[in-house]
Structure 1
Amino acid sequence: MKKTIVKTVMAASMLFSMVLGQGEGTAVAVAATSATTKAPVMTDNLFKYGLKKDVELPVTVTAGGLSYTLEKIMIYDIKSATAQELIKKYGYGSYGKFLVWTKITIENKGNKTIEVSANDPDPKWMIGVGDGGILDQGMPSIKVREKNSKEALWSYSLKPGQKLSTYQGLFNLGSTFDYLVIWLDVKGKSGQKYIVNREE
């Protein structure tokens, strides 16, 4: 009888330990899952300026063999600490009302070199913000002689198949953002993509 009671108690203890162990394992697994969950990456602050996106970033536009991807766009008041820090770091002129800081990836998917340089100074893309208004590309004087800069783009040259991820500073000389559209004009071919559509 005593042996039976002892066996029963041992079995119950083992069962309790197994259940407890499974619970701990579940708790650890949940904790591990929670620990690896990352906060979403902020790709824009357009809402702060009353702009409602029609598409989420990243946005890619392709024309004439050039693929342009806008990965991140942040608007800063020209007098803000962040804007002034970027202006000082890269040697931009401080003008206009807003500094627009973009993270982009450009890729040459054609069969000829695509560049903006002394040989071909025409810009290949523009970002429109209102009727007749486009963002003005700022010149980073500290990086102006560096071709294909990965920190602050000015001149670049991409051979077929070559890709570049970088940042570009732009300035809004106006006082508002009515919409946001990317225009490409490369080797006689054009393309466009609205991020924020015009209001009807």
Structure 2
Amino acid sequence: MRSLLVIHNQARATERQAAAASKTLLPEYVLRSSGYTITKAHSEEQANKLIVEADACVLDVPVPLIKSWGTSLLKRKIVPLLWWCSDSTATLSVEACDDNVMVDGVLSPSMNPLEIHWMLHFGSKQCFERQQWSMERKELLSRIEERKWIDMAKGILCELKGIAESEAYDMLRKQAMNERKRIVDVATSIVKVYQLIQDQKGGAKR
């Protein structure tokens, strides 16, 4: 991991220029001095272009802005997100201390090159684990949704044909095999057709 994208809040650009005398505290200076290649962005448009070539992103912004920046960046590329905790960003983040902030690590001006190296290393590992968890969560939610459709279809078949749940499931499975479809697709079709018929009956009664 060598190429880092540093993001500064556009509203703080003037403030940062005024603080040029203390540039040794700026993330780009500290990280470049530690051997990393640095690119900078002040706007979402700039960041979305530059993130493609970056190995990680360092957010030099107050905590309340991390979520919006992270959401935007991760749509373009999955990279570790690290927060730059300086006197300025910490002061602007006091009221957000209890927020559930999704970052993979924290960097600060006081860190030496070895500490920065290890924080980036662990941040990369954290990013990978977070993505794995997100994928597993999506898969679990998808299975729950599929189970819901299958259970509804079984209930409909049990009601219409007067059969047990196990028999209803066998019917779904056999129909899926015959039509070369997934069971959940067959189940979804049955439920939607049944609901459509019920809606038509209800309309006719009115």
Alignment TM-score, normalising by the size of structure 1 = 0.24
Higher relative contact order (CA 8 A, sep 6+): 1
